[in-house]
């Protein structure tokens, strides 16, 4: 598996977990790209009290206006960001490109917070390992 495919898979898994964590139990259905044994393990893990508490804490943190989740896109929907990016660059905009576009400053390209910059560096190191 090449690096680009690996990064895309990791983003999809992380985004999938984020979405599934927010869904009520009755709405959680096994995605076709996760094997049954792994899906069962995930459901057990997500049902653990520590995981539930962590999800609740993270939800509170996401709703605050401090931290690495600050966006620079204002009230523009992500679909509009994608359309504008594809129109300007002539290529498909993946989740990684959209993340960087909405979490960096236009004037100098720096990340919106130092904490975000450090987190991104850790992810890049982990992906290259």
Contact 48, 88 (CB under 8 A): no
Domain ranges of the chain: 3-62, 78-128
Query: Where residue 23 falls among pLDDT bands split at 50, 70, 90?
Result: low
Distances (CA, A) of 62 to 57, 58, 85, 89: 9, 6, 25, 30
A 10 A CB-CB count for 111 gives 19
Q: Tell me: the pLDDT tens digits for 49-80?
A: 888 888 888 777 766 655 545 555 667 777 78
Q: Tell me: the pLDDT tens digits for 88-125?
A: 989 888 777 787 777 788 888 887 777 777 777 766 66
Q: Which residues contact 128 (CB under 8 A, 6 or more apart)?
A: 3
Q: How much is the pLDDT for 128?
A: 63
Average pLDDT, the chain: 72
Percent of the chain with pLDDT over 70: 62
């Amino acid at each position: 598996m090449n690096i680009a495919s690996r990064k895309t898979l990791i983003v999809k898994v992380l985004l999938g977990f984020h979405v599934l964590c927010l869904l009520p139990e009755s709405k959680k259905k096994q995605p076709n790209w996760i094997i049954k044994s792994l899906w069962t393990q995930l459901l057990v893990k997500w049902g653990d009290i520590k995981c539930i508490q962590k999800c609740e804490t993270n939800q509170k943190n996401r709703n605050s206006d401090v931290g690495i989740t600050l966006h620079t896109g204002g009230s523009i929907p992500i679909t509009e960001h994608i359309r504008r990016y594809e129109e300007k660059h002539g290529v498909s905009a993946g989740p990684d490109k959209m993340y960087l576009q909405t979490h960096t400053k236009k004037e100098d390209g720096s990340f919106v917070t130092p904490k975000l910059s450090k987190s991104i560096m850790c992810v890049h190191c982990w992906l290259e390992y």
